[in-house]
Chains A and B, each alone.
Chain A
Amino acid sequence: MKHMTHLQRLEAESIFIIREVAATADNPVMLYSIGKDSAVMLHLAMKAFAPGKPPFPLLHVDTTWKFREMIEFRDRRAKELGLELIVHTNQDGVAAGINPFDSGSAVHTDVMKTQALKQALDKHKFDAAFGGARRDEEKSRAKERVFSLRSAEHRWDAKNQRPEPWRLFNTRKRNGESFRVFPISNWTEQDVWDYIAIENIPVVPLYFAAKRPIVKRDGALIMRDDDRMELRPGESVEEMMVRFRTLGCYPLTGAVESGAGTLDEIISEMRGSRVSERQGRVIDRDSGASMEQKKQEGYF
């Protein structure tokens, strides 16, 4: 393997994992969250089955609060690639009026993301779902398996995970159980951007700096993507040159001030950055173990 570069080795490993799921799962699905990690994962899936297409649909759990540019990008990509796209929204949550402003980020995330994901997986009886999570993102993710077994209730048992020696993944499961599979577990944020640049992978324009309508709230730069976001007394909308390091629900995703308008500039900026990408994520900040708790409850 000495002939392979670092990225080529990561690429080969990811393709192996994606094919392993296609070969062993009855009804797999790829969770497509529209972000850069999903873009890389989808690109790898296209390679794994070329000249054919991936033998599974894409699933997007739409909280109804994603950036509009993300939704446009999602629909365009699925069409360009000729892939089936399933969009699921938790209608109970919508009916109950759950939203990130009044319900708070924790309730919103639980109802519109975690519960919605479980609903979608149950509805379509998917027994394996690919996710674009990386181990370098967060401490409890660092201990996550590539093939992560979930109970019929979608719970993750951190203390009782199957060992994964070599690349001998144990893909056996009982009825009702399912796998979350993470093909880019071993990629870092830097690897993802390097690969996007090498492979010319399309990503949502929000990653590139542009003038955007920004409200400064609780120390974060929130882009006012539509008028559902009401201004609090003293707040105003400013045009600022910003970009996003991660993408999620717009009221919960902080922008960074940046002039990086090209991939090279993004990569340079990232290499010089002193804060982690999840720093802009409002939902992670509660406590060190907050991701572990969310994952046990079924969050991706």
Chain B
Amino acid sequence: MSNALEDNRPDEADWAQGSTPAALEDQTFAGPAPDRAGAAAPIVDPQAAMEPVVAPAESLLRFITCGSVDDGKSTLIGRLLFETNAVFDDQMEALEKDSKKFGTTGGDLDFALLVDGLSAEREQGITIDVAYRYFSTGKRAFIIADTPGHEQYTRNMATGASQAELAVILVDARKGILPQTRRHSFITSLVGIKSVVIAVNKMDLVDFSEERYEEIKKGYQEILPQLGFTDVSYVPLSAKNGDNIVTRSPNTPWYKGETLLERLETATPETFEADGSPFRMPVQWVNRPNLDFRGFCGTVASGTIRAGDRIVSLPSGQRSSVKAVWGPDGITEKGRTGDAITLTLNDEIDASRGDVIVREGDGVLPVKTVEADILWMVDRPMVAGGRLNAKLGSHQTPATLRALNGSVDIHSYEVKPANALLMNEIGKVTIAFDRPPVATTYTENRELGAFILIDQLTNETVALGVINSLARPAAGGVRTTASAATAGAQPKSGFAKLKAEWLGGGTADDPDKAAAATAARATASGLIIVIAVLMGLPVLAAAILGAIDFLVRPFITSRLADNDERTGQAELSEKPAPYYGDGI
């Protein structure tokens, strides 16, 4: 039925240019292809002009679908694919066969089987892994990440969400807002999605009750203030029967809004990457095909760059200006956010993978330490102090999980104290990088504010994270958060100084925290005494051991941490002429 969407698409004459086999035979693509913008007037193939060819969709929308188990996500996607003619006859045939074999719909077509591809998923009737699905209408091409509902696959949901611009959050009309709905909404918000569609599914099972729909809408509006969404819409639908998916359902005459597909076709999600933001590009690869060409390849993280623009390479601080911008079709006028480009410069500078090219005057800096939210993704717990590798943009560095400052209850959205993070939990952490990457907060820039953590031994991706705030490395003339804090503090007496160091930076100023830290350390030392006695040490010796541990350990730990900090800074200062921006 939605074929009409495609067939009614008006002809676009320039689409037909030069695409005859003869033209193909003549074409070689050694060297860059001709600039698209500079192409000559279109040569219209007379035959093509008579038989209009539908143009490819103009824009692309990436979205996720999420919801609790059995909310019908896979069914909804299967339905969207079916209604937009993205399911072929042979796939339908297989679906009919599979519906009888594995189906959960009692012989009716089970659309979920169109998307649950792994045999384990088909057998268990659940989605385990993110599945990517594709369909297009005349207006738009869509990439759907179908993400699992089960809590144990939260990491897969977050992965799908990180690439999406919009989220369709399913709510079962019978069950209303569930803890899972809150969890999915939180993760959706965490990775920066601003546009969400609340799809109230299974309306057929509540007799298409407007009252029930409004009740759910109200329930969701209550949790909204805690989330970062700027565009929220609600659609009552039935994925199983197709109500309000593509065409308006006669069963919901009280609903005046858009159908789900209309919403997806017209949504203009707020993206981070406004072209007005400053130009930043992580260097991905240095292209040196011969002695005369040295190009810095990368994908523009934000902003616009043109030939002649003054740039700085970070962290080295070397300056130059842009000689040429190479796009996918050769030399081009400018590079914009999301473009994969190659920059050639007017001066020989030493930049390599992991460095970031920015415009002169940009205040962005390499950062040693950041505060971040991370989602822990492996089944062994995360504990503070662990050593990992971090990848941020094209930069990779060893890093230390300096502190776990709390974990987020993804149902109540409260931050609670925590000693460890378990799989699928979100933690507030402090991370110190051995080689400071050029980074921003996630809200400022998606590319330079997001990272993954990798286990150094197994190479597993153990966490994904987003940066909330930066602590900048101390350097001449640059005010850093650390030095600002020190400068503001009152001079202390010898004992007070010792006490402050014993308690650790921020803790000393807060009596509650200080008492808690003292109690925790006393408990740890007490345990050491007990163990020592159990191992056969005389009680007095054990007590002395415990006392030494209680008094001395905090100093050792704090010295070690200081060393770590200094090493990182030393490495940074080894780079020639550090540039810390004119903007600060």
A265-B47 Cα distance, complex, nearest whole Å: 9
Which residues of A165-188 are within 8 A (CB) of B?
Answer: 165-168, 170, 172-174, 185-186, 188
Chain A binder among B89-97, B544-552, B571-579: B89-97
A165 x B450 contact (CB < 8 A): yes
Q: Which residues of B contact A197 (CB under 8 A)?
A: 15, 19
With contact pairs A12-B338, A170-B452 given, residues A186 and B132 touching in the complex (Cβ less than 8 Å) = yes
CB distance from A14 to the nearest CB of B (A): 8
Residues of B in contact with A, size category: 35 or more
The 8 closest A-B CB pairs, nearest first, are: A52-B289, A139-B117, A1-B338, A165-B162, A15-B340, A276-B88, A6-B60, A194-B56
Which residues of B385-444 are within 8 A (CB) of A?
Answer: 389, 391-392, 394
Chain A binder among B22-30, B237-245, B309-317: B22-30
| B53 interface residue (CB < 8 Å to A) | yes
A165 x B464 contact (CB < 8 A): yes
A190-B53 Cα distance, complex, nearest whole Å: 12
A142 x B117 contact (CB < 8 A): yes
B134 x A188 contact (CB < 8 A): yes
| B321 interface residue (CB < 8 Å to A) | no
With contact pairs A162-B460, A203-B24, A271-B54 given, residues A276 and B91 touching in the complex (Cβ less than 8 Å) = yes
Chain B binder among A18-26, A103-111, A116-124, A224-232: A18-26
Q: Which residues of A contact B337 (CB under 8 A)?
A: 1
In the complex, which of the residues B91, B336, B451 contacts A168, with contact meaning CB atoms closer than 8 Å? Answer: B451
Which residues of A236-276 are within 8 A (CB) of B?
Answer: 261-265, 267-268, 271, 273-276
| B299 interface residue (CB < 8 Å to A) | yes
Q: Which residues of A contact B19 (CB under 8 A)?
A: 197, 200, 262-264
Please give me the residue from chain A that is nearest to B121 by CB atom.
A143
In the complex, which of the residues B120, B156, B459 contacts A163, with contact meaning CB atoms closer than 8 Å? Answer: B156
In the complex, which of the residues A82, A136, A161, A275 contacts B134, with contact meaning CB atoms closer than 8 Å? Answer: A136
| B21 interface residue (CB < 8 Å to A) | yes
| B158 interface residue (CB < 8 Å to A) | yes
Q: Which residues of B contact A279 (CB under 8 A)?
A: 88, 90
| A71 interface residue (CB < 8 Å to B) | no
A292-B268 Cα distance, complex, nearest whole Å: 37
Q: Which residues of B contact A22 (CB under 8 A)?
A: 285
A144-B381 Cα distance, complex, nearest whole Å: 27
Interface centre among B19, B29, B143, B460 (most CB of A within 10 A): B29
CB distance from A107 to the nearest CB of B (A): 22
| B266 interface residue (CB < 8 Å to A) | no
A11 x B47 contact (CB < 8 A): no
A168 x B155 contact (CB < 8 A): no
Q: Which residues of A contact B336 (CB under 8 A)?
A: 3
**A 45-81 binary contact with B (CB < 8 Å = 1; else 0):** 0111111110000000000000000000000000011
B340 x A51 contact (CB < 8 A): no
A273-B89 Cα distance, complex, nearest whole Å: 9
24 contacts between A and B (CB under 8 A): A1-B271, A5-B56, A12-B299, A19-B285, A23-B285, A53-B289, A81-B29, A142-B133, A163-B159, A166-B450, A167-B299, A186-B132, A201-B27, A202-B24, A202-B25, A203-B24, A262-B47, A264-B45, A271-B6, A274-B89, A276-B91, A279-B88, A288-B119, A292-B117
B47 x A264 contact (CB < 8 A): yes
A191-B136 Cα distance, complex, nearest whole Å: 10
Please give me the residue from chain B that is nearest to A9 by CB atom.
B60
A174-B457 Cα distance, complex, nearest whole Å: 9
CB distance from A115 to the nearest CB of B (A): 23
Which residues of B313-335 are within 8 A (CB) of A?
Answer: 326, 328-330
With contact pairs A6-B59, A12-B338 given, residues A172 and B129 touching in the complex (Cβ less than 8 Å) = no
B128 x A159 contact (CB < 8 A): yes
Q: Which residues of B contact A265 (CB under 8 A)?
A: 51
A135 x B134 contact (CB < 8 A): yes
Interface centre among A5, A48, A51, A174 (most CB of B within 10 A): A51
Given contact pairs A6-B136, A9-B338, A166-B464, a sample of 14 additional A-B residue pairs in the complex whose CB atoms are under 8 Å apart: A5-B60, A43-B29, A50-B32, A140-B117, A143-B129, A159-B128, A191-B56, A197-B19, A198-B15, A201-B27, A264-B19, A264-B51, A264-B53, A289-B119
Please give me the residue from chain A that is nearest to B452 by CB atom.
A168
A140-B15 Cα distance, complex, nearest whole Å: 33
| B377 interface residue (CB < 8 Å to A) | yes
A268 x B340 contact (CB < 8 A): no
A174-B456 Cα distance, complex, nearest whole Å: 11
Q: Which residues of B contact A95 (CB under 8 A)?
A: none
A200 x B88 contact (CB < 8 A): no
A172-B459 Cα distance, complex, nearest whole Å: 6
Q: Which residues of A contact B20 (CB under 8 A)?
A: 262-263
Please give me the residue from chain A that is nearest to B88 by CB atom.
A276
With contact pairs A43-B29, A51-B31 given, residues A6 and B21 touching in the complex (Cβ less than 8 Å) = no
CB distance from A191 to the nearest CB of B (A): 7
| B383 interface residue (CB < 8 Å to A) | no
| A152 interface residue (CB < 8 Å to B) | no
Q: Which residues of A contact B459 (CB under 8 A)?
A: 170, 172-174
Q: Which residues of A contact B33 (CB under 8 A)?
A: 47, 199-200
A139-B114 Cα distance, complex, nearest whole Å: 8
In the complex, which of the residues B32, B159, B377 contacts A51, with contact meaning CB atoms closer than 8 Å? Answer: B32
CB distance from B298 to the nearest CB of A (A): 8
Q: Which residues of B contact A202 (CB under 8 A)?
A: 24-25, 27-29
A197-B89 Cα distance, complex, nearest whole Å: 26
Q: Which residues of A contact B216 (CB under 8 A)?
A: none
In the complex, which of the residues B88, B132, B446 contacts A166, with contact meaning CB atoms closer than 8 Å? Answer: B446
A139-B78 Cα distance, complex, nearest whole Å: 12
In the complex, which of the residues A3, A23, A190, A276 contacts B394, with contact meaning CB atoms closer than 8 Å? Answer: A23
**B 105-131 binary contact with A (CB < 8 Å = 1; else 0):** 000000000111111101000001111
A81-B27 Cα distance, complex, nearest whole Å: 12
| A283 interface residue (CB < 8 Å to B) | no
CB distance from B538 to the nearest CB of A (A): 49
In the complex, which of the residues B30, B47, B284 contacts A20, with contact meaning CB atoms closer than 8 Å? Answer: B284
| A4 interface residue (CB < 8 Å to B) | yes
Q: Which residues of A contact B330 (CB under 8 A)?
A: 50
| B339 interface residue (CB < 8 Å to A) | yes
Please give me the residue from chain A that is nearest to B299 by CB atom.
A16
A298-B288 Cα distance, complex, nearest whole Å: 34
| B273 interface residue (CB < 8 Å to A) | yes
A262 x B21 contact (CB < 8 A): yes
Which residues of B9-57 are within 8 A (CB) of A?
Answer: 15-16, 18-21, 23-25, 27-33, 45, 47-48, 51, 53-54, 56-57
In the complex, which of the residues B6, B119, B156, B287 contacts A52, with contact meaning CB atoms closer than 8 Å? Answer: B287
A199-B34 Cα distance, complex, nearest whole Å: 9
Which residues of B289-314 are within 8 A (CB) of A?
Answer: 289-290, 293, 297, 299
